[in-house]
């Protein structure tokens, strides 16, 4: 028999509430509501790579297979089949288990992930035994080693997690990967009652990679592509672990090859943890964007403990001031939110000026304490479907003060208000980078790292700037139009007049935006739900030496048209970089050039 097969649930994944793909986080959540400037993107599943890279046996990982792809692989005969699911995919997970039992009765089924622990909480032991042989409710790498009878104490390492990508749908409907990812740690000690990760890892932080290992991945990623946009450091509350992130920051800052002019990361953190830090010190770790859960001001009086540290407004303003972008995350549906106070809550959130945003509804995920309490009170509907156990389905929770449809309406209105108040997320990203540039340029004589960080903000602002004109022309109202003009003036004040090349791109983006508007009238973009591409990762053992890639990847359904399109885009990127070089050479005598020190080709991330 072959060794190990790992797979996500089979696709195509069901579209969710807004008719969006749960994998396209930019479109579904982070930049939703920004009209033609809502971004699109894709993310990959990480669990299987962590397992595959840390076991001794060879394995194959199927990411987003169709039913027939999965069954074809199962028929090859594997000793172990590891499956992972989110709650909203549990129905598919159950079907897959049944299919494996029927077609490959000798294969042992190992389940893991949040959906699997949801299943565990809602099925009898007998039912579970019929579906699987093992169910992992903890860190999965050590668990899988244990299942295989391997040494569980060996140190862990991973690299080359597939890159996430984002763009604008009008520029690239299939964004190329531009964000490398690493899992620093799993879990969180804070034990919030609605949170799945804290429950999964028993309120502990499980360290997966040391700061040195994370740093090595940064180096590898930037060596492969010096125009790498951002690095995603996956952890639950990065700034809680002061020593860890201080050490990572030191390594990134003191790096002489790239340093803070290039290295930067996206992370998640809480207001409480960030309150221990000065915002400048946070920027000096290389943090460029932070995902922040925004607790309701009414939460403290309703069983969620008083907030400690700074208030949200102080944190968001402080971060933006030093060039750290934010993804503000707000939830609706708590018992303490009423029709009267929820509007105040939402307006408070909008006032924070989040750079990116996530508005979701409260969902009791089994087996979190919130779910258990609600189940015991009879507040989970019996007819709840697994596909509704998600950020948008509400998990069958009977709401205290709002109608079901009201919750959806509040979320949609929130997204719309954010756009109509602040303009598109890309404009906000540009603005925050200009603030960071101004801050660190003013102080650059004090610290050489400040100068590096200023270069980072300059690079980002330079590449976002050409989209600004289109966001001004197609702004949702005159107030936002004026804000776009203010951002333009700020750019020119700080960085000088745009170059000829930027003006050329600006015209191109504006034309393309006009066309996108027309296209949207004829066929609203909301109709286009992304379908994830099936990928097959092959892990042979022994693995190649780091920094070589530990897997080979196949795209079984990739069409010739898609490959040609990818090739054409790469050629366009090269051609535009050539034009950029020529225009730089022609305009080289200009003193206040915004592209001074910026490597050519940084605009390319959107193509
Ligand atoms: C990045 C991310 C995403 C990305 C990519 C997903 C991914 N890479 O897994 C995207 C945007 C696609 C995403 C989507 C969603 N997400 Co998400 N996501 C995350 C985030 C921030 C990191 C996930 C990650 O990569 N972790 C690192 C990996 C290595 O950890 P892991 O997946 O937990 O896997 C470990 C173990 O669980 C276990 N394991 C997992 N699978 C298996 C399988 C086997 C066989 C074994 C043995 C072990 C095992 O081993 C792994 C290594 O220890 C987490 C929060 C967090 N920090 O974990 C939320 C989180 C997982 N997401 C969540 C949710 C709800 C969703 C959505 C359902 C939201 C929605 N739209 O409704 C969708 C569902 C997507 C879908 N497939 O349908 C929740 C889950 C909550 C819960 N259920 O209890 C989380 C915990 C956020 C939160 N705190 O609320 N997500
Ligand atoms: S602070 Fe965030 S990650 Fe930690 S338990 Fe609470 S919700 Fe979960």
Q: Which numbered atom of ligand 1 lies nearest the CA of 195? A: 89
**Cα atoms in the Cβ-side hemisphere of radius 13 Å centred on 407:** 25
Q: Is the CB of 22 under 6 A from ligand 1?
A: yes
CA dist., res. 317 & res. 315, Å (int): 6
Give distance in angstroms: CA of 138 to centre of ligand 1.
13
Smallest-distance ligand from the CA of 191? 2
Q: Is the CB of 374 under 6 A from ligand 1?
A: no
SS3 at position 180: strand
Give distance in angstroms: CA of 140 to centre of ligand 1.
12
Give distance in angstroms: CA of 422 to centre of ligand 2.
28
Q: Centre a 10 Å sphere on the Cβ of residue 574 and count the other Cβ atoms it contains.
A: 11
Q: Of the residues 55, 84, 291, which should be mutated to test ligand 1's pocket, given the most ligand atoms within 8 Å of the CB?
A: 84
pLDDT at 473: 98
Q: Which numbered atom of ligand 2 lies nearest the CA of 270? A: 1
Please provide residue 70's backbone torsions phi and psi, each rounded to the nearest 5 degrees.
Answer: -65, -50
Instruction: Kindly tell me the burial class for residue 204, based on how many C-beta atoms sit within 10 Å of its own C-beta (0-12, 13-18, 19 or more).
Output: middle
Give distance in angstroms: CA of 231 to centre of ligand 1.
18
Smallest-distance ligand from the CA of 196? 1
CA dist., res. 376 & res. 373, Å (int): 5
Q: Is the CB of 113 under 6 A from ligand 1?
A: yes
Smallest-distance ligand from the CA of 198? 2
206: enclosing H helix or E strand: strand 206-207
Q: Is the CB of 352 under 6 A from ligand 1?
A: no
Smallest-distance ligand from the CA of 370? 1
Helix locations, 377-477, DSSP H:
404-422, 425-442, 448-464, 468-473
pLDDT at 32: 96
CA dist., res. 408 & res. 360, Å (int): 9
pLDDT at 528: 83
Which residue lies with its CA nearest to atom 17 of ligand 1? Answer: 86
Q: Of the candidates 464, 474, 391, 523, which has an alpha carbon nearest to the alpha carbon of residue 34?
A: 474
Q: Of the candidates 333, 496, 478, 349, which has an alpha carbon nearest to the alpha carbon of residue 414?
A: 349
Q: Of the candidates 554, 515, 574, 540, which has an alpha carbon nearest to the alpha carbon of residue 168?
A: 515
Q: Is the CB of 141 under 6 A from ligand 1?
A: yes
- Superfamily of domain 2-155+531-554 in CATH is Response regulator (3.40.50.2300)
Q: Of the candidates 544, 532, 551, 533, which has an alpha carbon nearest to the alpha carbon of residue 49?
A: 551
Give distance in angstroms: CA of 188 to centre of ligand 2.
6
329: enclosing H helix or E strand: strand 325-332
Give distance in angstroms: CA of 305 to centre of ligand 2.
13
Which residue lies with its CA nearest to atom 3 of ligand 2? Answer: 236
Domain limits of the chain?
2-155+531-554, 364-396
C-beta of residue 268 within 8 angstroms of C-beta of residue 290: yes
C-beta of residue 332 within 8 angstroms of C-beta of residue 444: no
Q: Is the CB of 143 under 6 A from ligand 1?
A: yes
CA dist., res. 45 & res. 161, Å (int): 9
pLDDT at 305: 57
Q: Is the CB of 136 under 6 A from ligand 1?
A: yes
Q: Strands of 21-178 (E only): list them.
A: 40-42, 59-63, 78-84, 108-112, 134-135, 161-167
Q: Which structure tokens are listed for 263?
A: 């290295």
Q: Is the CB of 390 under 6 A from ligand 1?
A: yes
61: left (phi over 0), alpha (psi -120 to 50) or beta: beta
CA dist., res. 181 & res. 316, Å (int): 24
Q: Across the chain, which distance is largest between two alpha carbons, in Å?
A: 78
State the distance between the two ends of the chain, measured CA to CA, in whole angstroms.
Answer: 44
Q: Which numbered atom of ligand 1 lies nearest the CA of 392? A: 72
Q: Of the residues 114, 195, 294, 327, which should be mutated to test ligand 2's pocket, given the most ligand atoms within 8 Å of the CB?
A: 195
Which residues sit opposite 63 in a β-bridge? 535
Which residue lies with its CA nearest to atom 68 of ligand 1? Answer: 390
Q: Of the residues 10, 27, 30, 46, which should be mutated to test ligand 1's pocket, given the most ligand atoms within 8 Å of the CB?
A: 46
Q: Of the candidates 60, 87, 101, which has an alpha carbon nearest to the alpha carbon of residue 537?
A: 60
Only one residue has tokens 């258990």, namely 372
pTM attached to this predicted model:
0.96
SS3 at position 421: helix
Beta-sheet pairing, 108-112 with 134-135: parallel
Q: Which numbered atom of ligand 2 lies nearest the CA of 191? A: 5
Q: Of the candidates 435, 154, 78, 467, which has an alpha carbon nearest to the alpha carbon of residue 280?
A: 435
Angle between helices 425-442 and 312-321 (to 10 degrees): 70
Smallest-distance ligand from the CA of 269? 2
Q: Which structure tokens are listed for 159?
A: 């690299």
SS3 at position 361: strand
CA distances from 478 to 16, 38, 238, 467, 553 (A): 33, 19, 39, 18, 48
369: enclosing H helix or E strand: helix 369-376
Per-position DSSP letters for 484-508, written without gaps between them: HHHHHHHHHHHH-SPPHHHHHHHHH
Give distance in angstroms: CA of 182 to centre of ligand 2.
19
Which regions of the chain are under pLDDT 50? 306
CA distances from 603 to 89, 260, 563, 570, 598 (A): 37, 19, 22, 13, 11
Q: Which structure tokens are listed for 270?
A: 């809480």
Smallest-distance ligand from the CA of 142? 1
Give distance in angstroms: CA of 514 to centre of ligand 1.
37
pLDDT at 192: 87
Q: Which residues line ligand 2 (CB under 6 A)?
A: 188, 190-192, 195, 197-198, 236-237, 270, 293
What is the 3 state secondary structure string of 103-153?
A: HCCCCEEEEECHHHHHHHHHCCHHHHHHHCCEECCCCHHHHHHHHHCCCCC
Q: Of the candidates 58, 62, 33, 32, which has an alpha carbon nearest to the alpha carbon of residue 45?
A: 62
Provide long-range contacts, Cβ within 8 A and 24+ apart, for 338-344: 338/401, 338/402, 339/401, 339/402, 339/406, 341/298, 342/402, 342/410, 344/297
Q: Which numbered atom of ligand 1 lies nearest the CA of 368? A: 84
CA dist., res. 329 & res. 327, Å (int): 6
**CA 594 to mean position of chain CA atoms:** 29
Q: Is the CB of 25 under 6 A from ligand 1?
A: yes
């Amino acid at each position: 028999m072959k060794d190990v097969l790992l797979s996500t649930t089979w696709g195509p994944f069901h579209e969710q509430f807004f008719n969006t793909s749960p994998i396209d986080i930019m479109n579904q959540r982070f930049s939703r509501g920004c009209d033609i400037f809502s971004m699109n993107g894709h993310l990959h599943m990480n669990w299987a790579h962590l397992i595959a890279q840390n076991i001794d046996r060879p394995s194959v990982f199927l990411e987003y297979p169709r039913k027939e792809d999965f069954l074809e692989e199962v028929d090859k005969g594997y000793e172990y089949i590891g499956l992972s699911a989110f709650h909203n995919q549990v129905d598919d997970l159950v079907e897959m288990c049944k299919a494996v039992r029927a077609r490959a009765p000798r294969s042992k089924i190992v389940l893991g992930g949040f959906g699997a622990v949801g299943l565990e909480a809602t099925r009898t032991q007998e039912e579970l035994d019929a579906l699987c042989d093992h169910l992992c409710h903890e860190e999965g790498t050590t668990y899988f080693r244990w299942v295989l009878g391997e040494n569980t104490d060996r140190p862990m390492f991973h690299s080359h997690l597939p890159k996430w990508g984002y763009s604008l749908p009008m520029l690239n409907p299939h964004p190329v990967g531009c964000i490398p990812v690493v899992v620093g740690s799993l879990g969180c000690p804070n034990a919030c009652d609605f949170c799945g990760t804290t429950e999964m890892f028993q309120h502990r932080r499980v360290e997966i990679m040391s700061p040195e290992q994370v740093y090595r991945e940064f180096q590898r990623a930037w060596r492969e592509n010096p125009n790498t946009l951002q690095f995603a450091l996956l952890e639950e509350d990065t700034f809680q672990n002061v020593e860890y992130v201080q050490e990572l920051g030191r390594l990134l800052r003191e790096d002489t090859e790239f340093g803070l002019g290039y290295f930067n990361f996206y992370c998640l953190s809480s207001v409480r943890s960030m309150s221990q830090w000065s915002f400048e010190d946070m920027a000096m770790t290389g943090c460029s964007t932070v995902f922040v859960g925004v607790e309701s001001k009414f939460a403290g009086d309703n069983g969620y403990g008083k907030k400690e540290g700074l208030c949200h407004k102080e944190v968001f303003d402080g971060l933006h001031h030093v060039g750290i972008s934010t993804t503000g995350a707000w939830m609706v549906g708590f018992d303490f939110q009423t029709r009267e106070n929820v509007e105040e809550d939402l307006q408070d959130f909008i006032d924070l000026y989040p750079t990116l945003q996530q508005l979701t509804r409260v969902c009791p995920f089994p087996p979190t304490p919130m779910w258990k309490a609600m189940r015991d009170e009879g507040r989970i509907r019996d007819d709840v479907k697994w596909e509704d156990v998600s950020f948008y389905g509400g998990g069958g929770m009977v709401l205290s003060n709002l109608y079901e449809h009201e919750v959806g309406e509040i979320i949609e209105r929130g997204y719309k208000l954010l756009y109509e108040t602040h303009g598109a997320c890309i404009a906000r990203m540009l603005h925050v980078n200009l603030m960071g540039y101004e801050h660190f340029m003013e102080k650059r004589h004090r610290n050489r790292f400040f100068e590096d960080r200023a270069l980072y903000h300059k690079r980002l602002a330079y590449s976002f700037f050409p989209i600004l004109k289109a966001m001004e022309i197609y702004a949702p109202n005159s107030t936002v139009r004026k804000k776009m003009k203010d951002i333009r003036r700020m750019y020119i004040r700080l960085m000088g007049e745009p170059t000829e090349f930027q003006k050329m791109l600006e015209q191109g983006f504006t034309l393309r935006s006009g066309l996108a508007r027309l296209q949207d009238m004829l066929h609203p973009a909301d109709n286009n739900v992304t379908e994830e591409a099936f990928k097959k990762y092959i892990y042979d053992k022994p693995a190649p030496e780091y920094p070589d890639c530990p897997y080979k990847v196949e795209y079984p359904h990739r069409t010739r048209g898609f490959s040609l399109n990818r090739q054409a885009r790469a050629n366009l990127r090269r051609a535009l970089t050539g034009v950029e070089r020529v225009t730089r050479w022609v305009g080289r005598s200009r003193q206040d050039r915004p592209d001074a020190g910026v490597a050519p080709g940084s605009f390319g991330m959107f193509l």
